[in-house]
């Protein structure tokens, strides 16, 4: 039983990387991450309920349910590459690209010119200098205020 559990445990990083590589755009990745965390939380709630004290000491119903779930997980992990291959092939037939169109649009938008990149750095440097100047002025004002408010004991 623990051997099969370890197979699922070893396959989990692969499944998470599949999720990361197949969800494009911030919204899809946010929803995918939230769904993964929500399903983990639900499983953490349901898991202990499969082993009621009335089934002690053998816990036969919990053992059977755990074996069935492990079998489903192993089957899912083994077939996941085929599902993703089928999805990419279907998407390529429809759009001409294996990647979702949102991923292609995001990649196109992310390309900026060298002049724009230089301008971004100039603006950031200007903002940092202004921030440092404001912090220095604020520090001087606070220093004066604290000196004025010190009471002698």
State pTM to two decimals: 0.51
pLDDT at 61: 92
DSSP string of 16-70?
HHHHHHH--SHHHHHHHHHHHHHHHHHHHHHHHHTS-GGGTTT-HHHHHHHHHHH
Indicate the burial class of 32 (C-beta count within 10 angstroms; 0-12, 13-18, 19 or more).
Answer: middle
Q: Are residues 18 and 5 in contact, defined by beta-carbon separation less than 8 angstroms?
A: no
- Nearest CA among 121, 147, 1 for reference residue 73: 1
Lowest mean pLDDT among 45-54, 55-64, 73-82: 73-82
Greatest mean pLDDT among 58-62, 113-117, 123-127, 138-142 lies in 58-62
pLDDT digits (tens, 9 = 90+) for 98-128: 666 666 666 656 666 777 768 878 888 888 8
């Amino acid at each position: 039983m623990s051997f099969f559990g370890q197979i699922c445990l070893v396959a989990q990083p692969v499944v998470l990387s599949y999720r990361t590589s197949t969800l494009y755009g911030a919204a899809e990745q946010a929803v995918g991450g939230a769904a993964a965390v929500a399903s983990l939380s639900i499983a953490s709630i349901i898991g202990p309920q499969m082993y009621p004290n009335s089934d002690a000491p053998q816990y036969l119903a919990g053992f059977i349910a755990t074996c069935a779930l492990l079998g489903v997980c192993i089957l899912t992990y083994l077939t996941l590459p085929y599902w993703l291959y089928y999805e990419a092939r279907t998407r390529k037939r429809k759009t001409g690209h294996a990647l979702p169109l949102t991923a292609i649009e995001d990649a196109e938008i992310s390309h900026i010119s060298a002049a724009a990149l230089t301008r971004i750095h100039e603006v950031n440097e200007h903002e940092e200098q202004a921030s440092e100047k404001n912090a220095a002025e604020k520090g001087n004002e606070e220093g004066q205020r604290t000196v004025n408010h010190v009471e002698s004991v």
